[in-house]
Amino acid sequence: MSTAPQTPLDDLMPEVAAIIVEALNLDVSPSDIVPDEPLYGDGLGLDSIDMLEISLVISKRYGFQLKSDNDDNVKIFSSLRALTEHIASQRSK
């Protein structure tokens, strides 16, 4: 039985999950973050301050700004998968 080949997104998602856990000092393993569960509110239970912390770390790590006034933030931070896809499309490093 063959498995689907790894995509760049599959490689990046564990890294982004680790950033979330490290940035917020969460008491969960990065592998416990379900890719399609909400990060905000229900799901992982993060709030707007958490999102700001994550944004700062992502900006430093990947070389692009996540601005608080971006109309797409609700979509970008909707899940680990959505955030990873956004990083993959924007990063310069």
What are the tens digits of pLDDT across the range 9-61? Answer: 888 999 999 999 999 999 999 999 999 999 988 888 899 899 999 999 999 99
Predicted model pTM: 0.86
Give the CATH architecture of domain 8-90. Orthogonal Bundle (1.10)
Buried b (16+ CB within 10 A) or exposed e, 42-70: eebebeeebbeebbebbeeebeeebeeee
